[in-house]
Structure 1
Amino acid sequence: MKRRAVQPETSDTASLDFLCEAMMSMRTVEEMRAFLRDLTTPAELEALTDRWRVVPYLLREVAYREIHDRTAVSVTTIGRVARFLVGEQGGYALAAKRLQRKGRWPPSETD
């Protein structure tokens, strides 16, 4: 988290919760895409997309170098995602599991 010279009116946790609620209010992929494009810079959106792009490969236990060759995502980013995939908050695994239940996992190569 970045440091601020002035204390914000709301806590980081409350602000994150508010952002999560806003994201959850999106009803379609198109709405979420528009929200993310408004919320993030092109570089931030690319970083988020790169992280999510490597998850299916990691779940299939594809080697990092092969993932890099297929996706052009850095090996460092792949390693970071791999660490968070098996630990931390469990968000990557939960999202993948829910998409799998909806029949949207793994994504097709053309998505």
Structure 2
Amino acid sequence: MKEALFYFHGQRYQLLAFVIMSNHVHVLLVPFEKYLLGDILHSWKSFTAHKINRILGKNGSVWHKESFDRIIRNENHFQKVLAYIRQNAEYGPCGPDTYWNADSDEISSDTVTMQDTPPIGTGM
């Protein structure tokens, strides 16, 4: 999953933070102009599902069709989401290598490069 998250970081989106849990992932990102959130999520799900199925010798769906995306409205909301991701990393079962954020404790919505990307649902 980590490989998939970093693959288009800096090209299609600005990855800000993530934590990989045993059966889901929390990600904070800003899609760049021309890249839809639904397309980004589809590429992650497709890449990781193929890899997981190959490792397990299985076929079929790995991820739920639905994704639970949120639009960050302000600095307070941004900090709450970032804190939630950090909390999951502390208490999650997957170890320290499953958490990453862009700038340690210095990250805020002021340090994010915002693009003119309209809020769009994932359609997944």
TM over 0.5: no
Higher relative contact order (CA 8 A, sep 6+): 2
TM-score normalised by the chain length of structure 2:
0.26
Greater share of residues in helix? 1
Greater share of residues in strand? 2
TM-score normalised by the chain length of structure 1:
0.28
